[in-house]
A and B are shown apart, each in its own frame.
Chain A
Amino acid sequence: MAKDAPSHEDDAVIVCRCEALTWGDVKQAMEAFQPTSLRQLKSVTRWGMGICQGRVCRPMMAATTVEDQTEAAFRLVVRPPFKPVAMNILGHEGEKV
């Protein structure tokens, strides 16, 4: 590995590819909003709100950002349709074609 490979401490590093979010953006949001949960951080930065729905970025965000104080009822949950689905398929699922 090149010795100047970026670490997550470089502000310019992209930490959420779907939403083009950098580590610098995350640091700024942490300071401005003082979030107390990953969910609250998500709502101000959009990490995990793109097409991968957090599959790529979530482990890193969980390891590096907020010490989550959330109770079980407010934890991040996955939501259907779980994978990107075309509306044509979603709208006619279960019908005879």
Chain B
Amino acid sequence: MKSSPHVIVVGAGVIGAASAHYLTQAGARVTLIDQGDIGSGTSSRCDGNVLAIDKDPGFDSQMATVSQQLLHELAQELPYFEYRRPGSYLVCDNADEVEMAREWVRQQQAEGLPFAYLDYEAIHRHLPHLAEDVPGGLYCGSDSTLNPLLYTQRLAQSARDRSADLRPHQPVGDIGIEGGAAKGVRLASGEWVPGDAVVVAAGIWTPALLEPLGIRVPIRPRKGHLLVSGKGPLFGDAKVMEFGYLMSKFGRERVAPPDAMQYGVALVYEPTASHNFLLGSSREFVGWDTSSNPKVVQSIARRAMRFYPGMKDATIIRSYAGLRPWTPDHFPIVSEVDGVPGLWIAAGHEGDGIGLAAVTGRLIADLVLGGSPCIDPGPLRWNRFTEEGGMDHG
């Protein structure tokens, strides 16, 4: 590849913006294209999680930890995006979860990660607003949080400052293949944008961009709701989630009320720098609808009050929903497409796009520009889904 190649990044969400940031930092010319404005899709319908607490020990937690370190560096380098590192908590609903939480902490500590189990007395000392019957929990000290709206904009702004060409409101019609290699994109307007490489960082819209080339990737939209409180007293400064949604990792059934099970509702509490808090979460496969469902909103409010009875008097001012780019093994795709030199995919981060944007952007820059990769890219190959993904021909 040329010493200063021109890389076209399709999708200006957090993944595309982070890719543009690291690519321009490494000396590439970048054109960053989006169908809407910067950060107008999933990256503006999410919370600011940067978590290792829920990652499997091994590659999963290593990828998250490298991203946390890169983010810590970005926070010194870029203007303010409300980055803080208060750690995060998982709280248990019942004795069965306590047993699994102890096991989870043992596994993580064996990997050298900063986890601690908190018994009844300790969890209530750390989190005094919790319901009295919460039997225990755990803490991860490396977890951080940020404002995802601002973070995405700061990354795009940084790329623009290094002469990236930002092209919002430009839907991509086709990815141009010549002589078997990616050579540019044709915008819906008819304009041809030539480049030396094309990075598809289009989240849930990725399959539709690749489909015309006969390339299938199993990314599906998985809907999630968030509730926003009015400004007021917070219920602690760190992020708190319920342990229950990890129970499937241990082959155990989660015990929760029927409405929570129906909508995949699990507690997420996230205090923001603006002195309100966000409440999540829900997980549903219901197509492309981003409207807010009052039943799900109600279920999230109930689940929050189960852990925080004092929230009954807190005020909710807004709710919204976004679509996570789900993959079957919950890992993103960060990979060149075999047989199509110059065509790259960086998508499928489900609920971890904000947290994994730094490591993904850095890895894309390493791989596209031929540097040594910051993590092993093997587990993130595009064609690892033997049953659902792959190429129609070749």
Contacts and interface: CB of A to CB of B under 8 A. Distances in A.
Interface of A: 18-19, 32-37, 39-40, 43-44, 46, 49-51, 53, 69-71, 73-74, 79-81, 84-88, 90-91, 93-94
A80 B38 contact: no
Contacts of A36: 37-38, 168-169
A69 B36 CA distance: 9
B291 to A, nearest CB: 9
A13 B39 CA distance: 28
Contacts of B228: 49
A91 B297 CA distance: 8
B39 A40 contact: yes
B153 A86 contact: no
A86 B312 contact: yes
A32 B38 CA distance: 13
B3 to A, nearest CB: 29
A45 B304 CA distance: 28
10 contacts: A19-B274, A43-B153, A44-B150, A49-B274, A51-B230, A51-B231, A79-B318, A84-B230, A85-B316, A90-B297
A33 B39 CA distance: 12
Contacts, number: 108
Most chain A Cβ neighbours within 10 Å, of B40, B157, B169? B40
Interface residues of chain B: helix, strand, loop or mixed (majority): mixed
A40 B311 CA distance: 31
A85 B314 CA distance: 8
Contacts of A33: 38, 153, 157
Interface in B261-297: 274, 292, 294, 297
B4 interface: no
B69 interface: no
A85 B229 CA distance: 9
Interface residues of B, number: 36
B298 A50 contact: no
B61 interface: no
B104 to A, nearest CB: 29
A52 B157 CA distance: 29
B28 interface: no
A87 B311 contact: yes
Contact of B37 (A19, A37, A88): A37
Contacts of A34: 160
B223 interface: no
Given A40-B37, A43-B153, A81-B297, 14 more contacts: A18-B231, A32-B79, A32-B157, A36-B38, A44-B149, A50-B231, A53-B317, A73-B36, A74-B36, A79-B319, A79-B320, A84-B317, A86-B314, A87-B313
B169 A87 contact: no
A54 to B, nearest CB: 10
Contacts of A49: 228, 274, 318
B6 interface: no
The 4 closest A-B pairs by CB, nearest first: A43-B149, A88-B312, A91-B301, A40-B37
B323 to A, nearest CB: 13
B319 A81 contact: yes
A19 B228 CA distance: 14
A41 to B, nearest CB: 9
Contacts of B274: 19, 46, 49
